[in-house]
Amino acid sequence: MSTTATNPLPNASFPVRRMDFNFAETKKYWWSDDPFLTQFMNNLSSLFPYGEKFFVDSVRAIRDQISDPQLKKDISAFIGQEAMHSKEHATYNEYATAHGIDLERLEQRVRVLLEWVTRLTTKKHRLAITCALEHFTATMAQQLLEREDLTTQIDDPKMYKLWLWHAIEENEHKAVCYDAYQAIGGGYFTRVILMLLTTLIFFAVIGWFQIHLLRKDGQLFNWRSWKRGLATLLGPRNGFFTRLIGPYLAYYRPGFHPLDHETKALENNWRQRLGFSS
Ligand SMILES: [Fe+2]
Ligand SMILES: [Fe+2]
């Protein structure tokens, strides 16, 4: 695996890092030997190849309407980062295929869903949907960067680097789509209605994919793993999603901005830990 940080636009606010992972050696249950939680991460990964392509297409479609020179550069860097995430989460399939986990099928379902969304919406709607999903990725990523109790459960060094690299970059570029949405005159009502619809569809999809992955893996009735997984995700005090309720609801404030959730020190700390030069 090699990493080089390059910045194709010197004045963008964040770099585009070229990554080249190889997951051929990764063991099946790389999250603390746990089927539910490993499949949950596989579930999330299956959303990225086409999900992040959708983000790139949404932003690219309105790029010529943006006049602010800094935002234009940041849009190009955003496209570079998301395209790299999409590529590396497609590479993730090497691991999945080696263990008989059919993530490609789930990715194709995401592709079909997003093709429908594209047919039914305007450019501004798609940008609002991207803003909603970027808020999900940024807040989930922030929590991952803050939760040593979770990241120490990742048993594989390549998976560790993939998820934490992605988490850093989701925070580096979290304001780009939102700023672009506001710059093209995107309003509050459309933003929050589409957040509501996106939330419903997002949780329906990951619920469906989770059942599918566990069933295909012969783990659907592994109650011990379910118990641990549900406690990790939905536990009353420390559940991953439970702790996201506050940051999620913040999105519905009329004056919300992604940079309200300050993560610069956290990003810096993790850039050093992962050995990134910038
Ligand atoms: Fe991403
Ligand atoms: Fe993103």
The ranges assigned to domains in the chain are: 42-273
pLDDT at 60: 97
Q: Does residue 31 sit in helix, strand or coil?
A: strand
pLDDT at 5: 54
Q: Taking phi first (over 0 means left), then psi (-120 to 50 degrees means alpha), and beta for anything else, what does residue 14 get?
A: beta
Task: Compute the distance from residue 270 Cα to the ligand 1 centre, in Å.
Answer: 16
Task: Compute the distance from residue 169 Cα to the ligand 1 centre, in Å.
Answer: 7
Task: Compute the distance from residue 92 Cα to the ligand 1 centre, in Å.
Answer: 14
Burial zone of 220 (CB within 10 Å; 0-12 exposed, 13-18 middle, 19+ buried): middle
DSSP single-letter state for residue 1: -
Q: Considering only CA atoms, which of 101, 129, 117, 114 is closest in space to residue 40?
A: 101
The answer to whether 46 and 209 are in contact (CB under 8 A) is yes
The answer to whether 92 and 103 are in contact (CB under 8 A) is yes
Residues with a beta carbon under 5 angstroms from ion ligand 1: 85
The answer to whether 171 and 267 are in contact (CB under 8 A) is yes
Task: Compute the distance from residue 52 Cα to the ligand 1 centre, in Å.
Answer: 6
Task: Compute the distance from residue 170 Cα to the ligand 2 centre, in Å.
Answer: 5
User: Which residues, given as ranges, of the chain have pLDDT below 50?
Assistant: 1-2, 4
pLDDT at 49: 93
Task: Compute the distance from residue 50 Cα to the ligand 1 centre, in Å.
Answer: 11
CA 248 to chain centre: 15
Ligand with smallest separation from the Cα of 136: 2
Task: Compute the distance from residue 103 Cα to the ligand 2 centre, in Å.
Answer: 20
Residues with a beta carbon under 5 angstroms from ion ligand 2: 134, 137, 170
pLDDT at 7: 56
Neighbouring-strand partners of residue 18:
4
Neighbouring-strand partners of residue 2:
20
pTM: 0.95
Q: How many CA atoms lie within 13 A of 13 on its CB side?
A: 16
CA–CA gap between residue 33 and residue 155 (Å, rounded): 8
pLDDT at 2: 43
Instruction: Give the residue carrying structure tokens 């309720």.
Output: 245
CA–CA gap between residue 271 and residue 264 (Å, rounded): 10
Axis crossing angle, helix 264-273 with helix 157-172, rounded to the nearest 10:
150
Q: Across the chain, where does the E strand assignment appear?
A: 2-6, 16-20
pLDDT at 6: 57
Neighbours of 118 (CB within 10 A): 16
Retrieve residue 126's tokens.
């798609």
CA angle, corner 83, sides to 203 and 104, nearest 5? 55
Q: Considering only CA atoms, which of 133, 118, 144 is closest in space to residue 177?
A: 133
